[in-house]
Each structure stands twice: as structure tokens, then as C-alpha cells.
A and B are shown apart, each in its own frame.
Chain A
Amino acid sequence: MIRQWIGHFIRHIDSILLATVLMVLVVALMVLYSASGQSLLKVNAQLINIVVMLGVMFLVANTQPQHIERIALPAYLLGLALLIAVALVGDISHGARRWLNLGVTKIQPSELMKLAVPIMLSWYFSKRETMLRTADYIVAGVILLTPVLLIAKQPDLGTATLVFASGFYVIFLAGLSWKFIFGSVVAFGAALPILWSMLHDYQRRRVEILIDPSQDPLGAGYHIIQATIAIGSGGTTGKGWLNGTQSQLDFVPERTTDFIFAVFAEEFGLVGCSLLLLLFTIIIGRAFIIASQAKSTFSRLLAGSIAATFFTYCFVNMGMVSGILPVVGIPLPLVSYGGTSLLTLGLSLGLLMSVQSHKRLVATD
């Protein structure tokens, strides 16, 4: 009976996704061990995070997409309410109001929105049984932009961008007209000077330093310079595990979290970087396949958005660490240390697996 139960459970697990994710996680733990100065304490803590993540993934994988559809609206509204609460009574840390103190624990509602927004939008589009009209896109835009603006105002430009991206992918996949997209891109380009003037000084500084990190080599530019040195000095095959001087000697900042990729690149070189990119590509590719095979609008849009968002995380993080994108606080999926990020990933991967394993059920609906 137990075997049956296990069999039932495993039935919903996508083996390709799981295998690739596990490979990345093994690499991640090795890098974390090195980046943390060989701290088993930190590795153990991350191991617990991984177990929780895998647990969540299994649970969600075994949940039918319909059940998830049902929580779309409540989750979204709850998130929105929390964001407003943060704006009114949130705790200030590092000059930004991001956390809501619940007494027992502090929560960051913007994290919740990373999934609540695409779920909400997928649900919204799946409810339009007719051809989509402009009005529908306008409603979708409001659904998307309300939380994004609230998060941007905290200010948390990184998360706002990612939440926007995750929702935008849904709208894009739902069929937003190319004309509108290109029009928006042109309009955005035209509006850049205005947006520039709206940015906080530190945000402008970040962009300026991205263009020329040497402007502030000991301050804001230090991160990028040291990370770039770490990556570059890794060479073709890397300095070897635990032998990265840049990381072992503290030159790479935030090296267990946002900048962990610099540690990896220094110790495993171009060969390691290529393999990691390949693993990420497999995960994203598999997710796209799942999306393309999904039978319901909701599953399709959600899976596609998750795949594209996962890609966005990878690209923005690696682009930032290697100095081609501005420094925004975004972790590298599966690799950076931290429970929240992994929890979100567990949910995302679970959703993908759920979409994949329940497509027949959906089809028979």
C-alpha cells in the first residue's frame, strides 16, 4: 500500500526536470561550501532549505492545476493587501520599506507576488472564453501594474522588474499584439529620459557605475570589479574547487547569495560556466515543452511564464555578476543561498510538474 502511495506520488514528478535540478543543486552545494569559507553550518542550512523546497515541489506537483486556479484570486488579493500594508506600516531596512512585521516573523509580500501575479493573470485569461479584446489587456495591465508599482515604490527595483516580467510573460503568451509590444518598446525608449529623472540617486548611480565601474572602484563599483576579476581569472578550466583566491580571500562580496556565480566561475572556469548554462537551458527548455504540451489555457500560460521567469532570473543574475547588466539584487536560481528563493522555486517547479502530469486529467475535463 505504501508502494502504491509512493508510486502515486512519484507519478507526478517530471524526471527530466528533477534530474537537472538535482544536478544544479549538487553543484550549488559545492559552491556554497567553498563560498562560505567551508562552513558546513551554512551547507546544512541550505540542505534543509532544499529539503523544504523539494517537499513543496512534490506537494504542488501532486496538486491539480484546477485547485491552483481556485486560489489565484484570493492569493493575489491577499498579496495586494499585504503590499498596501507594507507601504503604510512596513519596517524600514536599508532605506527601503519591504518587510511586514507580524510579530512572530517578518514577511516580504513582494516575494509572494512573484507567483501570485502570473497565477492571477493566467487565471484571468483562462476565464475569457471569448476572443481577447483590448479591454481584457487593459484589465490585465492593471492587475499586473498595481503590485509592480507598489513594489517599485518600496523601493525594490529588482523584485518589481521580476514581478513585472513574470506577469508580462503571461500577457505576452496570451497573445498581446506585436504592434502593441513594439509600440511600447518605442514609447519606453522615448520615455527613458523621464524615467531616468524619476530614479533614485542610488539607482542612477548603479546604472552609471555599470557603464563605467571604475568610477567608484572602492564603493559601488567594487562589487562588479571584484566579481569580474573573479570570473576572468578563472580562465578556461578554473582555479579548482576551494581554490578561488578572489572568493576565498573575501574579495567577492555577497558571495554566498547574489554573487555566488562569481565564485563558481572562478573555481570552475569557462567549462563550468558552459555546463551550468547548459543545465539551465535544459530546465528552461523542458519547461517550455511542458507549456507547449499543456492542455488548458491556465496551465499553458502559467508554465510558459514560469519558464520565461526562470530564464530571466538566470540571465539577469549572471549578466549582473559578469558586468553586462546593472546590479540589482537577484539571486541565481537554485544556486544562491537562501530559503525564500528556493521556496518560490519549489512552488514553480511543482507547478510545472503538476501541469505536466495532470494534462490528461485536464484534457478529460
Chain B
Amino acid sequence: MGYSTELKNHQNEQHKFRVRLVFLILLVLSAFSALLGRFYFLQVFRYDYYQTLAENNRISIVPITPNRGLISDRNGIILAHNFFVYTLEITPSKTDGLQDTITELGSLVEISATDLKRFKKLRAQSHTFESIPIRTHLNEYEAAKFAVNRFRFPGVELKSRLFRHYPYGTLGTHGIGYISRINENDLKQLKESNQLSNYKGTEHIGKAGVEQAYEADLHGVTGFQQVEIDADGRAVRVLSSASPTSGNNIVLSMDAKMQEIAEHEFAGRRGALVAIQPKTGEVLSMVSMPSFDANLFVDGIDFDNWNLLNNSLDKPLINRALKGIYPPGSTFKPFVAMAGLESGKRQPPFAISDPGYFTLPNSRHRYRDWKPSGHGAVDMRRAITVSCDTFFYGLAVELGIERLTDFVRHFGFGEKTNIDIQGELSGLLPTPAWKQRRYKQPWYMGETVIVGIGQGYTLVTPMQLAYATATLANNGKAIRPHLVNAIVNSKTNQVNMLPHTLADQLNLNPQNLEIVKLGMMDVTRPGGTAAAVGANAGYDIAAKTGTAQVVGIKQNEKYNEKLIAERHRDHAWFIAYAPAEDPKIAVAVIVENGSHGGSTAGPIARKVMDYYLLGKVPVDPAAAAQAAAEATVVNAPEVEEEPHD
């Protein structure tokens, strides 16, 4: 290790330096090659993938909710329509202090306790990123007041929303139905029917009646806007758009005026009425009293109102016309009579001498007639007119339960009428097979006896009874009842009349029909059980009164003691069609706890028929009430003469 070796050798050093440089150059080249490879991988090999991601990033599909179709009555009166209202909505996830925000909002526009309750309820059902209305129906002044202050309220928006509105409130609600917020269950169903994408942006869906049954027509087709958005989700520009297609308008068979008259005539009583055009199956009225205001549900019903409706002893939410099941009572007799005549068991001049009761062979049990003294000599026509129980007891036994039920089934008993809205119950037409299945017990002869007068297990809905009446009026041609007459295409205005469906066809002997029909016409004539109803009508009414013992709508809640007596009274039935010789309307009416069909249910049917056939409209409620009062007084003696049917 000499001194000289420690001196720098500049040439050697430069050579060494260059070797190091070459190493660095190789490093640069390999590193840049790696980058180039990476770029190639991203930009060529995986281009499609990233291209899609970039597109998804950039484009957001904004749904445009279609206008819901309008619902009008058969005469064009609008029963459900839409209008814009200002709504104040909060998106919880975008709001810092929800409670403070609401308090501060309250100092700006009025927020009622009801609003708060609804908000809380909706909030529990919604995701935090969904906007929930805190106040709806703001007026222009309130809207402007918020607009100026909106910078103070992040996460709160003033929206203009299309609202469903039912201008007549409670009128015909059970038939028209209502819309309400889409819930989890609806979502599931929409998903199953592949309709979910069409409901993007839609918040409401039909929940009952026509609104529910014709949802597909009413809703329309959701439009879409392809919007370019930035990273914060703000719309930059619209790339393309597809307009929504408004829902189709629906024309009901219902006559709003008739509906109004009928509902009014119930005057606070519970019950139902169905009026059908026998030849077409068009339902002119479907009344279920008490009714409720469909508008309550549109905003999301608040807790108090819901409780009020849901817990009411009067069950306003139940559509009695379709779901109320009652024994048909004597209204069943004309159909049993048809069975007797058609089977040849009761051909004129067959008549019985009614002692006021009926006994089965080898039995001492007396099945009493409603008239203890008996009706004397009774043939078929008179049996219907005076509602002779004894006559029908014997007839039922002679027909036998199987033959009886097999025949009347053609009038729609024991089966759904398949009306075009949902929720209908099928009632019950009992048979030995049914009893065995249901109770594991044999059928007793005595049970056949009481089926003859519409008691026992037999259960019907008002809709069924109206349908049966219409079928009888239509000489055995059963036309499926429907609430909707036509669907009007919102784009082309083309009116699509819905076809009338022949549901069943009974080839009835005209002579037999004549006997039953004459018997029913006599019902509304002096001496009949509803003579008062037919008085001064100006047209012939074929009818039948009836009484149903109280077993119908389940009322298993605790009873209000004071109401028990009233609610234990019999239900009053009345079926009719008119004009008797060329029926244009068939009606079934039940007044719960109304006792006598002729006095409570009959006058309601008469008002409806007067309106439909003569155009008579009760002038105003007060006058109508007075007229009703006078009618009761005038007819009172007759009713007392016929205390029961």
C-alpha cells in the first residue's frame, strides 16, 4: 500500500463512473419499459373494462315519473286526478342536526304535529339518503319564504311534486281505491313482475280498488334522462332523454251521482249497496258505509287518523260490498224457487196450506214461519211475495241440499263474482262434502231445511247478491260484474271499451222465470213485504226483502256495552231490479242492524233506482232527509203490518 495508489486515477475513475452510468441507463430503460407495459395493459388490454367504468361514472340515469292516469265516472266526472304541490323535503343523510333543522324550519313555515308524526313514520321506512316530506301543500308565500332561506338548510329541498287527489273525498273510496307509498311488499311484487325499473322515481302505488287493480294502466311508462354528472353527482348536461308516457285514463262504470245519492241515503248507518246493469255487468254503484277519505293515504297517513280508521268499531276500511259476508236470509228464496221450478218439483198449480210451521218426517221439531199464524194457501208466486218460510222449508227438503246448491251456484253463490278489483270474498254455499271437510260431521236434514230460507251456513256478499239478482233479471245470463268500462289511451286518446264477459248461462224455462218474477213484482205491491218501496214508483220493481242474523262481519273486538243492543239487531236486506219487464238496474242493499229490509234497505234502493230510471235527484240533503222522514211516517202502518219477512 504505497502512497501512489492512494492518488486518484482520473481515467480509471471516469471509466468506473461510466459503468455506473450504464447501470443507471439500464435502470431507466427497464423502469420506463415497465411503465409502458402498464400503460399498454390499461389502455389496450383492459380498455373496454375501463371505458365502461368511465361511462358508468359519467352517466346517471334520472327517471322521469309519468303522470298517473285519471279516473272518471261513466259520465266523465273526475274522481281521481293529479296536481302539483310544493313539498318541503329533508334528506336525513345530508342534514347535520335533524332536530335542529326541523325546529328552525318550523320557525319559517308551519309544521304541525301531524306533519311531524308523518315525517317520523316515513323516516322509519326510508333510507337516510331518501328525501322525506316534512311539509306538503305549501302555498306560494311559504314556498318563497323557504326559497330565500334555503342556504341555511343543507339537505332540505323545496320540491314540486305531483299529488294524487280525490276531489270527492270519501265518495266511492272502496271502489276507486287510493294510492299510498310503495312499501317493501310492493317492491317485492314489482320485482317479481319485472316492473321495478318502471317504478324508478315513483313513490306511490295503487293500494285498493281500481287504483290497485288497474295499476299497470294507470301508472304509465317512466321516462329517462341520461345525465352527465360530475364527481359530486351534480348534473352537467343532458345527453339524451326519453319522455315518460302518462298512464292511461280510466272510465268507471260507476255513476258518481248515484254513488253520492246512495251513500247519502245510508245516513250514517253501516251497510253496503251494489247496483249493476244486468245486461252488461257494469257496476253503477258500489257503496260500503262508512267510507273514508282516500286523500288521507296519499301523503302517508298519520298515526292518529290510521288508528281512528283501523280501530273504529264501524270498520270503515273494510269494503263491505266485497268482503262483508252475511246470511242472505229471505233474499235467497227467489233462487231456491227457480231451483224448485226448474227441477219440476213445484210446478203450478202446486200449493201448500201453511200452518205456520214445518216439521220433518219422524221429528217433532217445528221450523217456524215468521208469521206464527201461517199464510194459508200459498203457491210459488205467493210464497215469494209474502216470503212464506214454510213453503221453502218443504221445497228445500224435497230438492235435497245437493240439487239445491248445484242449481243456485249458477247465480254466483259460493263463488267470487270475479269483479275487476281485488279482495273479494267468496261467501259460502254449504254442501255435505263441505261440512265433512270443515267440521268432520255429517249433514243433517234440518240444515237443508234452513238453507231453504237463506239461513244456516249460507253466506253471501252484497256483490254476490247483486250479481245473482242481475242474473235473474237477465233471465239467467250471468255477466261478470266490472267497475271499469273503458281505458283511454293517454297518447292516442283511443277509447278501449272493456268487453262484457258472459260468466254463466242458465237456460231457464220462461214460464218458470215468469212465476218468480211476478212473485217478486208483487213484493213491492200492496200486500207484499216491501209495498212501501214500490209505492208511486212510476215503474215496476221486482224485489225481495230479507233479514240476516248478526254473524256477518267479524267483530271480535271488545264491544262497547252501550252499542251491543243496537249491533245485535238483525241486518236488513233488500234486492231489486227495475223496470221489472225490461231490467236496467239490479240492486242489492244491506243495512247492518237495520232490522227490516223493507223499511231501511228498500228506500235506499228506491232512491237509487229513481235516480237511474227517472233522473230523480234528491234536491239537497235537508230536503232528502225530510222526504225520507215523511216516507217513513206514511208507510209506517204497512211496515207494522209486516213486521217481519
Chain A interfacial positions (CB closer than 8 Å to B): 129-131, 169, 172-173, 175, 226, 228-236, 245-246, 249-251, 265, 269-270, 273-274, 277, 280-281, 284-285, 288, 291-292, 297, 300-301, 304, 307-308, 311, 315, 318-319, 322-324
Question: B198: shortest Cβ distance to chain A, in Å?
Answer: 29
Contact among A173, A234, A249, A300 for B230, CB-based, below 8 A: A249
Q: Closest 9 CB pairs between A and B?
A: A232-B50, A233-B54, A250-B231, A232-B42, A249-B230, A270-B43, A233-B50, A250-B230, A130-B6
Complex Cα spacing A154 to B539, Å: 104
Least distance between A263 CB and chain B CB atoms (Å): 13
State in angstroms the CA–CA spacing of A157 and B21 once bound together: 27
Q: Nearest Cβ distance between residue B18 and chain A, in whole angstroms?
A: 6
Q: State whether A173 touches B21 (Cβ < 8 A).
A: yes
Q: Using CB atoms, name the residue of chain B closest to A315.
A: B31
Q: Is the CB of A233 within 8 A of B47?
A: yes
Tell me if B40 counts as interface (CB < 8 A to partner A).
Answer: yes
- Bitwise, B444-480 to A at CB < 8 A (1) or not (0) is 0000000000000000000000000000000000000
B residues apposed to A, CB below 8 Å: 5-8, 13-14, 16-18, 20-21, 24-25, 27-29, 31-32, 34-36, 38-40, 42-44, 46-47, 49-51, 53-55, 57-58, 228-232, 236
Within the complex, which residue of A130, A245, A270, A277 is in contact with B57, where a contact is CB–CB below 8 Å?
A: A245
Instruction: Give which listed residue, A172, A229, A269, contacts B53 with CB less than 8 A.
Output: A229
Q: For the complex, give the distance between the alpha carbons of A229 and B7 in Å.
A: 57
Let me know if B54 and A315 touch, CB within 8 A. Answer: no
Taking CB atoms, residues of chain A closer than 8 Å to B47 are: 232-233, 235-236
Assess whether A172 is in contact with B230, with CB atoms less than 8 Å apart: no
- Give the number of residue pairs across the A-B interface with Cβ within 8 Å: 138
Chain B interface SS verdict (over half): helix
Please tell me if the beta carbons of B46 and A232 are within 8 angstroms of each other in the complex.
Answer: yes
A-B contact pairs, 23 of them (CB 8 A): A129-B7, A131-B5, A131-B7, A172-B20, A175-B17, A229-B50, A229-B57, A232-B43, A232-B47, A232-B50, A232-B53, A232-B54, A245-B55, A249-B229, A249-B231, A250-B230, A250-B232, A251-B57, A270-B43, A288-B25, A291-B17, A300-B17, A324-B34
**Across the interface, which residues of B come within 8 angstroms of A228, CB to CB?**
42, 50
**In whole angstroms, what is the CA distance A273 to B41 when docked?**
13
Residue among A173, A249, A251 with the highest chain B CB neighbour number at 10 A:
A249
Choice from B32, B42, B49, B228 contacting A231 with Cβ under 8 Å: B42
CB <8 Å contact, A265 and B7:
no
**Shortest beta-carbon distance, A63 to chain B, in Å?**
23
Q: A232-B53, A234-B43, A319-B31 are in contact. List 19 more A-B contacts (CB 8 A).
A: A130-B8, A169-B24, A226-B231, A231-B42, A232-B54, A235-B51, A245-B57, A249-B229, A250-B231, A270-B44, A277-B36, A281-B29, A288-B21, A292-B21, A297-B13, A304-B17, A304-B20, A315-B32, A322-B42
Write out the residue numbers on chain A whose beta carbons fall within 8 Å of the beta carbon of B34: 319, 324
- Chain B residue at smallest Cβ distance from A297: B13
Which residues from chain B contact A270 at a C-beta distance below 8 Å? 39-40, 43-44
Contacting residues, chain B, for A324 (C-beta < 8 A): 34-35, 38
Q: Which residue of chain B has the shortest Cβ distance to A281 in the bound complex?
A: B32
Q: How distant is B234 from chain A, measured CB to nearest CB, in Å? A: 9
- Chain B residues with Cβ under 8 A from A246's Cβ? 54, 57-58
CA distance in complex: A236, B48 (Å) = 11
In the complex, residue of chain B having the shortest beta-carbon distance to the beta carbon of A270: B43
| Alpha-carbon separation in the docked complex, A135 to B32 (Å) | 35
Judge whether B51 and A251 touch: CB under 8 Å: no
What's the Cα separation between A232 and B28 when bound, in Å?
A: 23
* Interchain CB contact under 8 A, B36 and A274: yes
Chain B residue numbers with a CB within 8 Å of A307 are 24
Cα A120 to Cα B620 with chains together (Å): 107
Q: Which residues of B contact A319 (CB under 8 A)?
A: 31, 34-35, 38
Distance to closest chain A CB from B265 (angstroms): 64
**Which one, B14, B18, B54, B228, contacts A229 given CB within 8 A?**
B54
